[in-house]
A and B are shown apart, each in its own frame.
Chain A
């Protein structure tokens, strides 16, 4: 009995290696289950996309043949080249990119300041102002179209990118709300400690809070990219010069007055989403991290 109580170093090593083995086996079983589930869902999610891809390689008559085929008889890769020859899609994408940069800059400047104010600072009428800010999200955007157009036209800013970028410098309520919620989950101890060290409000925002908000900043960049890339109505209303159109407007040119060239339309659409996906692929590692990893270190 007493013998067994006294564990040797070797015993401990042996035991831990056995449990580690069991642990590793369990871990791999869990991995496998996770991969199986994820792959199944991924396939379901990809079906529509595969169909788009298949359509982009078909001839116009094959798209409408029955029974429908998944694999084109003879893939017509030139649909892609032809789509690019028909309209300056590359130019349109560069324009979109400029708009994305402008908007991202605006959001990154404005949103943290406003969100920090709502989340951390106390001042009269805060709750009312917050609801007021949220309420601007609830108004159907189309209702503001005519008055806004009048304002920008009187400022002689139509046919420029200003109406498409300027609003981002006033902070998007969606992002403000998102960031407010995020900051509210960050313990105040960190702020207090910094304040005792003599840091001012803005120093705390930029030195303490913002670095912890990396995941939410990544979400902001990803969503700004996505929304600006896909926004059709605003550029349509404000821009007049063909060569300043963004890709969202450019894609609409594939819909004719009487019929749509589906194969080219699908080809152009697929190419147009690539930049968004590439950005996301690289941005996502910033989505992971934040205070969770900080907790690990602590």
Chain B
């Protein structure tokens, strides 16, 4: 009996390490992403293969989803509270409550420091309820892209970075040739974006209590009147043109590339298209009324760990690899990502070009998101006042009637605001 016990103990001692090995099967991390102009399928697969090779204890499983449909899939799984990925793009601010608080993990991580990211993007994209809920992957921004060939052909001076909304209209009128379907510039894609903010207009009060004195302020009226003037030049593509000929929703890049639109509010993804098409183009920020703060509509892809993950540490390991210096460097060199980490951004191949410089300076402007993130009811209120935009775009309202129209929309806007604040707060 004693002998048997000894043998057993001995056997156990021998077996224990092997048992341990069995228990240490690699952890699988589910990762959801999309393919885009900045990182296509092959580049991301290469990155994840590199990570998996370096980490024997973690294996990342990539799921590539179409960007059209990504929201529905995320919303379904997050809403069901199950089946969501360990690591994913949390590009919608509404998903933030389902993102894991990474503050402690980041503090303990010697390789990641909040200071190493561009501050504007850090503040607007990954801080939620005083928690760090993700890391910002890459940067994106809207700016006015102009076609140098078309400017030269029309003998019009290139726009300067400190130009005004009036300059924009003047150039549109000079550049356009409506008979040949050649347009001077595009129309903004909606109200209360960067150019509205540059004119000092806001949709409602900072404390989210009323639209009175905001929606119908002198600045808002001026912004809508500016749009009215722009439409009246006949130098912009009509809404029909914009939707048909531009790839609507993302900006009329194809119209721009076809030399039929001299100026367009586009983004860095479109910039890649223009570089690939060998276009001569320049970049300026959106125009601004002198004295106001200049704004930019900018974003960064927030990548987060889902709250329901079973392996938060391993998930963070992959997350910080992907959106940290290593991953962003890799995606920049092998894809078209423009990193959100200045020390990596220094090596951007376009950093010394004119357009690269212009793009980098746009990134330093005040972000529209700074206000918008604090006011989640903006979309709901905008929907309630969409008629104002439609009427001006259709040219179905007199310029002088704009003030009265906005005054008239205040009650409906206030009702929408009140309902939304009651639901979401803020």
- A259 in complex: contacting residue of B79, B250, B258, B260, CB < 8 Å: B250
B68 and A258 form a contact (CB under 8 A): no
A233 and B80 form a contact (CB under 8 A): no
Q: Total A-B residue pairs with C-beta atoms closer than 8 Å? A: 99
Whether A145 is near chain B, meaning CB under 8 Å from some CB there, is yes
Binary contact track A252-269/B, C-beta < 8 Å → 1, others 0 = 110111111010000000
Q: Which of B231-266 contact A (CB under 8 A)?
A: 245, 247, 250-251, 253-255, 257-258, 260
A150 and B82 form a contact (CB under 8 A): yes
Whether B35 is near chain A, meaning CB under 8 Å from some CB there, is yes
Measured as residues with beta carbon below 8 angstroms from the partner, the interface class of chain B is: 35 or more
Binary contact track B32-54/A, C-beta < 8 Å → 1, others 0 = 00111110010000000000000
Q: Which of B248-302 contact A (CB under 8 A)?
A: 250-251, 253-255, 257-258, 260, 267, 269-270, 273, 277
A237 and B73 form a contact (CB under 8 A): yes
Binary contact track A143-187/B, C-beta < 8 Å → 1, others 0 = 001110110011000100000000000000000000000000000
Binary contact track B63-80/A, C-beta < 8 Å → 1, others 0 = 111111100110011011
Whole-angstrom distance between the Cβ of A49 and the nearest chain B Cβ:
18
Bound state CA distance, A18 and B37, in angstroms? 74
A61 and B37 form a contact (CB under 8 A): no
Stretch from A37-45, A62-70, A121-129, A219-227 that touches the partner: A62-70
Whole-angstrom distance between the Cβ of A88 and the nearest chain B Cβ:
11
Neighbouring B residues of A66 by C-beta, 8 Å: 180-181, 258, 260
B269 and A257 form a contact (CB under 8 A): yes
Bound state CA distance, A145 and B250, in angstroms? 28
Whole-angstrom distance between the Cβ of B313 and the nearest chain A Cβ:
23
A61 and B257 form a contact (CB under 8 A): yes
Neighbouring B residues of A257 by C-beta, 8 Å: 34, 36-38, 67, 250, 269
Whether B83 is near chain A, meaning CB under 8 Å from some CB there, is yes
Bound state CA distance, A140 and B258, in angstroms? 41
Neighbouring A residues of B257 by C-beta, 8 Å: 60-61, 64
- A255 in complex: contacting residue of B38, B67, B251, CB < 8 Å: B67
Bound state CA distance, A290 and B327, in angstroms? 64
Bound state CA distance, A237 and B83, in angstroms? 10
Binary contact track B322-353/A, C-beta < 8 Å → 1, others 0 = 00000000000000000000000000000000
Whole-angstrom distance between the Cβ of A96 and the nearest chain B Cβ:
15
Neighbouring B residues of A259 by C-beta, 8 Å: 37, 247, 250, 253-254, 269-270, 273
Bound state CA distance, A190 and B109, in angstroms? 80
Whole-angstrom distance between the Cβ of A60 and the nearest chain B Cβ:
7
Binary contact track B81-125/A, C-beta < 8 Å → 1, others 0 = 111000000000000000000000000000000000000000000
A64 and B250 form a contact (CB under 8 A): no
Whether A84 is near chain B, meaning CB under 8 Å from some CB there, is no
A146 and B245 form a contact (CB under 8 A): no
Whole-angstrom distance between the Cβ of A205 and the nearest chain B Cβ:
39
A255 and B181 form a contact (CB under 8 A): no
Neighbouring A residues of B81 by C-beta, 8 Å: 150
Q: A64-B260, A258-B269, A258-B270 are in contact. Are A232 and B37 (CB under 8 A)?
A: no
- B69 in complex: contacting residue of A60, A65, A150, A236, CB < 8 Å: A236
Bound state CA distance, A256 and B254, in angstroms? 13
Bound state CA distance, A256 and B35, in angstroms? 7
Whole-angstrom distance between the Cβ of A264 and the nearest chain B Cβ:
13
Whether A282 is near chain B, meaning CB under 8 Å from some CB there, is no
B65 and A146 form a contact (CB under 8 A): no
B273 and A255 form a contact (CB under 8 A): no
B36 and A233 form a contact (CB under 8 A): no
B69: nearest residue on chain A (CB-CB)?
Answer: A236
B258 and A65 form a contact (CB under 8 A): yes
B245: nearest residue on chain A (CB-CB)?
Answer: A64
Whole-angstrom distance between the Cβ of B301 and the nearest chain A Cβ:
10
Residue of B38, B66, B79, B83 most packed against chain A (CB within 10 A): B66
B267: nearest residue on chain A (CB-CB)?
Answer: A258
Bound state CA distance, A194 and B169, in angstroms? 83
B260 and A258 form a contact (CB under 8 A): no
Neighbouring A residues of B36 by C-beta, 8 Å: 256-258
Bound state CA distance, A154 and B82, in angstroms? 9
Q: A232-B69, A237-B72 are in contact. Are A258 and B37 (CB under 8 A)?
A: yes
Bound state CA distance, A208 and B181, in angstroms? 66
B83 and A153 form a contact (CB under 8 A): yes
Bound state CA distance, A147 and B79, in angstroms? 9
A233: nearest residue on chain B (CB-CB)?
Answer: B72
Neighbouring B residues of A253 by C-beta, 8 Å: 35, 66
- B80 in complex: contacting residue of A63, A65, A146, A236, CB < 8 Å: A146
Neighbouring B residues of A89 by C-beta, 8 Å: none
Neighbouring B residues of A147 by C-beta, 8 Å: 80
Bound state CA distance, A64 and B34, in angstroms? 27
A240: nearest residue on chain B (CB-CB)?
Answer: B63
B255 and A64 form a contact (CB under 8 A): yes
B68 and A252 form a contact (CB under 8 A): yes
Neighbouring B residues of A262 by C-beta, 8 Å: 247, 254
Neighbouring A residues of B180 by C-beta, 8 Å: 66
Bound state CA distance, A242 and B277, in angstroms? 30
Q: A242-B63, A257-B269 are in contact. Are A149 and B80 (CB under 8 A)?
A: yes
Neighbouring A residues of B247 by C-beta, 8 Å: 259-260, 262
A232: nearest residue on chain B (CB-CB)?
Answer: B69
Whether A241 is near chain B, meaning CB under 8 Å from some CB there, is yes
Whether A216 is near chain B, meaning CB under 8 Å from some CB there, is no
Binary contact track B19-34/A, C-beta < 8 Å → 1, others 0 = 0000000000010001
Whether A249 is near chain B, meaning CB under 8 Å from some CB there, is yes
23 A-B residue pairs with Cβ-Cβ distance under 8 Å, sorted by A, are A60-B257, A64-B245, A64-B255, A64-B258, A66-B180, A147-B80, A149-B80, A150-B80, A153-B80, A154-B82, A158-B83, A232-B69, A233-B69, A236-B69, A236-B72, A237-B73, A240-B63, A242-B64, A252-B68, A255-B67, A258-B36, A258-B267, A259-B254
7 extra A-B contacts, CB within 8 A, seeds A232-B69, A255-B66:
A64-B258, A64-B260, A236-B66, A241-B63, A249-B69, A253-B35, A257-B38
What are the nearest 4 A-B pairs in CB distance? A258-B269, A252-B66, A64-B258, A257-B36
